[in-house]
Amino acid sequence: MKSMEHELSTFCPTYHRAVELIGRRWTGAILRALLTDVNRFNSLAAAVPGLSDRMLAERLKELEAEGLVLRNVIPEMPVRVEYSLTAKGRDLESVVRAVADWAESWAAHGTVQEPAAEETAGIPAA
């Protein structure tokens, strides 16, 4: 794993691709559920309110194609399918936790926000 102490540039295609992947609608919630060992399709659907079966199937296929999720078909009657995170997917745990911490600090309360730049400069808001 690379050090977090490298210089940030204005644009990095690798970073952009990663953010676009994990920032897709529902992907973060699916990853969070998988990190808590929810591993069956119906369990994942139930763990994420508002997520349709079609969207869940689409996101799981995308995550599998990216090497983040492993789809395991268990040949029994009826056939059982389980999903799990690969090592690459599990490496996102610190990212998911960091976003969760940020959300608890800033986004969860809805009213907690920094003052606008105009307010901190003593300029009354319009």
Is 2 or 110 the better-scoring residue by pLDDT?
Answer: 110
pLDDT for 31-82, tens place per residue? 999 999 999 999 999 999 999 999 999 999 999 999 999 999 999 999 999 9
Tell whether the model's pLDDT for residue 4 goes beyond 90. no
Give dist(CA 23, CA 100) in Å, integer: 14
> Which of 5-9, 59-63, 104-108: highest mean pLDDT?
59-63
pTM tops 0.95: no
Cα(27)–Cα(29) distance, integer angstroms: 5
Question: Which CA distances in Å does 107 have to 36, 44, 83, 100, 111?
Answer: 22, 24, 29, 9, 8
